[in-house]
Amino acid sequence: MRNLIEFLWRYQLVLVFLFAELLSIGIIIQYNTFHRANFLGFANEVSGGAFNMVNEITEYLELKNVNEQLAAENSRLRSQQQSSYFSLRPGVVYFNDSAHLEQYEYLHAKAINSTVGKRNNYITINAGSEFSVEPQMGVISDAGVVGIVKATSKNYASVISLLHKDFKVSAKLRGSSYFGILTWNGTNPREAQLKDIPHHVSIKIGDSLDTRGSGTVFPPDILIGTIKEFEDIPGTDFYNITVRLSVDFNKLGYVYVVRNKMKFEQTNLELEAETEADD
């Protein structure tokens, strides 16, 4: 209390001046229409700007929740696509009935760390075993193929990027039955290389390449990229094709982990066939 009294006594003249100024301004605004209108306009401008700033900050903070909700909805919609179902009766057109089983389920996650400048690049996503993510699951984005899960912890997973020397995927020419193996040579993070497409196949720059879906990792018809250029491989009957990747790994955000519900049935059957072939 003593400090407050000393403060008021020390600055009494300043405080009296400020009070008189505010009183004068109040009288002018109260009894002068022109000045009152100007003051109200200024006050509205300031308060409106402040409210707008608060609203923009609030919208920004809520954007994360909105993005997560959209990613979850996209996962649900992807799981309902016709390519996510396995037909029990070939030739049946509709897939939302008892004649079809859901084969692929999509789990949404976010890439929280990644590299692109190394020979072997990895991606960390914020979904692990707690969310049913397991090694050897495919990872895609809205743009196309991203990679394959290598290892998981409870809440995170490490993904082998398409930009990795050990990554391989069977790529099919869209609208054709011809396919080859796509790999990355370690140079340009926006380009990969496709081989095993024979010369007699008609191709052109801009043709799309999709996943073949022959394995257990990726569903069919997931975009990989487009043909950028191609040339004959001397002494062979095949092309050397440069592919412009559909995914920009420098801007990787939300992704989807693909769970193949029929993976073990397929792998067990193939293992039995290989065992019999070796006997």
Structurally, how many domains does the chain consist of? Answer: 2
pLDDT of residue 96: 41
pLDDT of residue 240: 95
pLDDT for the residue numbered 97: 41
pLDDT means over runs of 10, the chain (279 residues) = 64 68 63 53 46 55 64 63 48 41 85 94 94 95 96 95 97 95 97 96 96 90 97 92 97 92 78 70
Q: Does a structural domain hold residue 202?
A: yes
Asked if residue 74 belongs to a domain, the reply is no
Q: Are residues 133 and 50 in the same domain?
A: no
Asked if residue 233 belongs to a domain, the reply is yes
184 neighbors 163 (Cβ within 8 angstroms): yes
Q: State whether 246 and 122 are in the same domain.
A: yes
Give just the sign of the alpha carbon dihedral 187, 156, 63, 104: positive
- Report if residue 218 sits inside a domain: yes
Q: What is the pLDDT of residue 44?
A: 42
- Residue 66 located in a structural domain: no
Distance CA 155, CA 135 (A): 13
CATH of the domain at 140: 2.40.10.340
Q: Distances in Å between the alpha carbon of 64 and those of 74, 113, 270?
A: 15, 17, 43
- What are the tens digits of pLDDT across the range 148-193? 999 999 999 999 999 999 999 999 999 999 999 999 999 999 999 9
Q: Which domain holds residue 24?
A: 2-56
What phi-psi label fits residue 71: left (phi over 0), alpha (psi between -120 and 50 degrees) or beta? Answer: alpha
**Position of tokens 């196949």?**
201
What confidence score (pLDDT) does residue 261 get?
A: 87
- Same domain as 125, residue 231: yes
pLDDT at 262: 82
Same structural domain, 245 and 111: yes
Same domain, 49 and 134: no
3-state helix, strand, coil in the chain (%, to 5): 35, 30, 35
Q: Looking at the structure, tell me whether residues 114 and 233 fall in a common domain.
A: yes
Is 172 part of any domain?
yes
Is residue 221, in this structure, part of any structural domain at all? Answer: yes
Residues 225 and 133 in one domain: yes
Considering the domain boundaries, does residue 98 fall inside one?
no
pLDDT of residue 90: 43
Residues 112 and 42 in one domain: no
